[in-house]
């Protein structure tokens, strides 16, 4: 399909484990965002890439969270030593890298449950 | 104070009613204002996009921005049961590297 693809759609893990969440943006979109959405809350900004570089990573909650986008396309969000409070839906979105801020196209999210 | 405030609801209205959804914000640098709609277990989808102050209409939807009051609104006319969803306001400043910040979202139920 032509939309943003996120895998896995669901991930259950145990406290302390390492997790990777993958995002495949729409072809040609150079801007990529990661958000975290807890139940009953709006998307909380984590990190924003322009191409391969992180333009703003101020939303990453602590050094257990890290994201990469080595070739300017697919991105991976990495969470080390997971905690129960990390349980949430992790949303990825992409857009054209043309100012002003463009429409964000979201994937359906990766639902992370930390037991 | 959070940068973007939005009443989470839920808001229940009868079919055919006019719905008013609102957000306030604190950052005067915000220039771009968006409304996204999110159905259960889906990603948000863009509904309306406005720049600076003023009104924008698209079918049954009207977005209003009052920068002097730091207040934005979304009106839905002739509401339908299919409009039942969570509505998220979002906003961003002008610079190329500025992130897009979302409100908490308002859950809307249109009663048939």
Q: pLDDT digit string (tens) for B2-44?
A: 789 998 889 999 999 999 999 999 999 899 999 999 999 999 9
How confident is the model over A55-84, as a mean pLDDT?
Answer: 95
Tell which residue, B109, B104, B65, has the closest CA to residue B85. B109
Please determine, for residue A77, whether its predicted confidence score (pLDDT) is greater than 70: yes
Q: Does A24 touch chain B (CB under 8 A)?
A: no
The dihedral region occupied by A16, where left means phi > 0, alpha psi between -120 and 50, and beta the remainder, is left
Q: What is the pLDDT of residues B36-66, one digit of tens each?
A: 999 999 999 999 999 888 899 999 999 999 9
- Torsions phi, psi of B42, nearest 5? -125, 165
**Residue A97: pLDDT over 80:** no
Asked if residue B21 lies in contact with residue B5, where contact means CB atoms within 8 angstroms, the answer is no
Q: What is the dihedral of CA B14, B15, B18, B21, to 10 degrees?
A: 70
Contact of A103 with chain B, judged by CB distance below 8 Å, is answered with yes
- Name, in order, each residue with C-beta under 8 angstroms of A42's C-beta and a sequence gap of 6 or more: B4, B6, B88, B102, B103, B104, B105
Judging contacts by C-beta atoms under 8 Å, the chain A residues touching residue B4 are 42
């Amino acid at each position: 399909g032509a939309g943003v693809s996120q895998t896995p759609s669901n991930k259950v893990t145990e406290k302390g484990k390492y997790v990777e969440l993958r995002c495949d943006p729409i072809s040609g979109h150079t801007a990529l965002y990661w958000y975290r959405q807890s139940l009953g809350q709006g998307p909380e900004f984590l990190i924003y890439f322009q191409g391969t570089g992180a333009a703003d990573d101020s939303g990453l909650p602590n050094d257990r969270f890290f994201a990469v986008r080595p070739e300017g396309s697919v991105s991976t969000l990495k969470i080390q030593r997971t905690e129960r409070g990390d349980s949430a839906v992790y949303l990825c979105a992409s857009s054209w890298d043309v100012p002003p801020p463009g429409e964000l196209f979201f994937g359906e999210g990766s639902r992370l449950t930390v037991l | 104070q959070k940068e973007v405030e939005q009443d989470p609801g839920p808001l229940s209205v009868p079919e055919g009613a006019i719905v008013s959804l609102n957000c306030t914000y604190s950052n005067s640098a915000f220039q771009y204002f968006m409304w996204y709609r999110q159905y259960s277990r889906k990603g948000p989808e863009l509904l309306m996009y406005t720049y600076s102050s003023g009104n924008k209409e698209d079918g049954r939807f009207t977005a209003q921005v009052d920068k002097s009051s730091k207040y934005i609104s979304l009106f839905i006319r002739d509401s339908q049961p299919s409009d039942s969803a969570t509505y998220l306001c979002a906003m961003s400043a002008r610079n190329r590297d500025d992130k897009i910040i979302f409100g908490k979202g308002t859950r809307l139920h249109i009663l048939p």
